[in-house]
Structure 1
Amino acid sequence: MADMSVKILPALADNYMYLIICNKTKEAAIVDPVNPESVLEAVQNENVKLKSVLTTHHHWDHAGGNEKLVTLFKDKLIVYGGDERIGAMTNKIGQDDTFKIGNLDVQCHFTPCHTTGHICYFVQTPARDSKAVFTGDTLFLGGCGRFFEGTAEQMYSALIEKLSNLPDETKVFCGHEYSLQNLKFANHVEPQNVTIQNKIEWSKAKRANNEPTVPSTIGEEKEINPFMRVCVDSVQQYAKSHGNPIEAMRAIRKVKDSFK
């Protein structure tokens, strides 16, 4: 991505933080900086100007580093989020709010369900030739977050009405390395889906080399992710939802919650 770079920063056991860089201005933002020391090291290594924090949701493994990062960093940081429970938040944002990272355009998508204040951040270059979405615990490669504070209706709105309508080439940067577990369940739901089987083998090879499986793309998720495929006949047949995609969403999430 010529005008935009995304540096993947692993954290904790399986979290991902992301340093988003505008290559023209060298301004940067960090997504979910749970490990502030790693963030500061990356900022120095990339020689960029960190300006803002993009918080997807209030859970400690995403927002728990906000206060320390703000304290450690010498310049004032703007901390975006959609939930009053987010530490050090300076700017509360909601659906379709916009701001910039250097020359990059950011649009907020309000995706409550995993938490009531979850935000996904859609980032584009000025020429619209590179696109990325940072989905926290709403959309994972091959899966979605648990419905801790919401409903199947809300996750349907988040995944099908909002994220599915982003351009297919949009790169998806999610909050955790859950891909193999998610794809195992996806294969259980759709055992005839060869695209899922191929993605499992690809993901196994990546993890064997200790490499991340992110990013995927919106278009790819529509092919492999059962929660993005609740309108597809094969998923509805598995869910016994009789043509009702919201019931399919509810049914497959219930199964996934206890799937081994």
Structure 2
Amino acid sequence: MQNNFLGKLKENENKLLTIWSQLLLESGSGDGAVEEEESKEFASLFLSALAISDGKYENSNESEKVEDLIVGISSSRGKRGFSPRENAQYLVTFKEASSQILSELIVDRAELFTANLRLNAIIDNLMILTFEAFMRGREDVISRQVDEISEISTPVIAVWDGIVALPIIGTLDSSRTQVVMENLLQQIVDTGSSIAILDISGVPAVDSLVAQHLIKTVSATRLMGAECIISGIRPEIAQTVVHLGIDLTGIITKASLASALQTAFDMLQLTVVKKR
């Protein structure tokens, strides 16, 4: 009987698609032309796989093709901004549409129950795969956005000929330190600057880990032939550094960016005077 109801679903593919599209529209999970093409492709491949697999869908080659397709669709929907609920509705509505078709075609209640039970088990497994794919897709988006924000939040500014400054705002962790170093070193190369100012006025707290990241950045800057000044050393930060026993010997530190800039001018033997 399994092969019979599976074959009937395939024979009524167009009707199923119509019902499915309407259910998606009513659920608010639709996405226009893009989703219509995805739905047609999925329905065609899935129903064909059910009919061809001769009642052994789970272990068939066709099932792998269906799984690959639905994983791709779910990931794409996640990247297009669909919520987890909306993504789940994609297969829930397909299952509902399929059940409507089966209820019209199968008269015997026991056979209808068996058919729905079989179909539900298959689609429920696909829903698990789509959820995993959806989460991976959203994680990729979040990861990319984090990288973009990290790039934006670490701008290197050429404040004077031979002087660049990098104001750091927010927590300084290992991954962000890498971005800071890459941006700073690249700007030193591009501008030929000999002095770099790291301003940590916007860093909420400095612990031993943050201090180590700063020291690494200073060391990398010196390897490029430039001197590094750390500004924005607030009283509470100074106390924390002393309390933790962090050794900043050999590193020029200043309380403010203005003070650091003045020191940089002195190192370059520059003097700023008012016009008369």
TM-score normalised by L of structure 1: 0.24
More strand by share: 1
More helix by share: 2
